[in-house]
Structure 1
Amino acid sequence: MSEAAATIPDTPLFDRAGSIRGYRINKMAMALGQPANRAAFKADEEAYLDGFGLSAHEKSAVMGRDWHEMVRLGGNLFFILKISAVDPTPITRIGAAQASMEHEDFLHLRLGKKRNG
């Protein structure tokens, strides 16, 4: 682990090693920019992921929409957002997952939104 990664607890560092580690996830996510690929992803997500050679752990993270784990596995957040657009998943939910917070708490504490109720 680099010195920079050690100074920011629980924050995955996207460096060269992370980029190499996340190549399959990032390549798969970038391909979702094409309408045919989005349709294939929606039709049979597991088969689509298999087509990019994702490991069982990577597939589990994507299929479970475990945003934090996808980033930890080397996923670049800008590419991972393409997955969220297929569902669609609000970016604030991804932010909450990255901060290990409940969505409602994230909206209130990080964005200053009023609580419901």
Structure 2
Amino acid sequence: MANQSIPDTPLFDRSGSIRGYRINKMAMALGQAANREAFKENEEAYLDRFRLTAEEKKAVMSRDWHEMVRLGGNLFFILKISAIDPTPITKIGAAQAGMSHEDFLYERLGKRANG
């Protein structure tokens, strides 16, 4: 469901929390070293342990941050996934804003990508 006051912004409410239970549980488990290793060794098998749907697995495996949130992922939980790659938080912010990383850096932070 989109937030009515901010168009195209997923609202993390009770229904979103319920919808995102599997993806959030999986992401929180990445706080344990053994789970991070299992994720790195065989990402799909790790996701299967948490019974992620095909849609959820696709979002995680393609690192589609916006889609993970749309599916009920709590940004604070799915950031644990970004620590494995590692993915700069500004790239996640750009994805959430629907912007290129370079545009996000400039328009939101006043920085040029190369300087």
Code of the residue aligned with 1:88 in structure 2: it is P
Q: Please give the alpha-carbon distance, in whole angstroms, between the structure 2 residues aligned to 1:115 and 1:88.
A: 18
Q: Distance in 1 between matches of 2:18 and 2:11?
A: 12
SS in 2 for 1:6: coil
Question: 1:97 and 1:13 mapped to 2: Cα distance?
Answer: 16
How many residue pairs were aligned? 115
The CA deviation at 1:115 is 4.6
| Residues 54-113 of structure 1 deviation map (CA, whole Å, 9 limit, x = unaligned) | 000000000000000000000000001000001000000000000000001100110000
How far apart, in 2, do the equivalents of 1:114 and 1:104 lie? Answer: 7
Given the alignment of the two structures, is residue 6 of structure 1 paired with residue 11 of structure 2, yes or no? no
Name 1:57's counterpart in structure 2.
55
- Counterpart position of 2:93: 95
Query: Runs in 1 of length 4+ with deviation above 6 angstroms?
Result: none
* Partner SS state of residue 93, structure 2: helix
**Whole-Å separation in 2 of the counterparts to 1:88 and 1:115:** 18
Give how far 1:8 is off. Answer: 1.6
Distance 2:114 2:45 in 1: 39
Question: Contact 2:36–2:84 at 8 Å: present in 1 too?
Answer: yes
C-alpha separation in 2, matches of 1:25 and 1:42: 17
TM-score by length of 2: 0.96
Instruction: Give distance in 2, aligned partners of 1:75 and 1:108.
Output: 27
SS in 2 for 1:65: coil
Q: Deviations over 1:5-62 (max 9, x none)?
A: 2222100000000000000000000000000000000000000000000000000000
What stretches of structure 2 of length at least 5 have no aligned partner? Answer: none
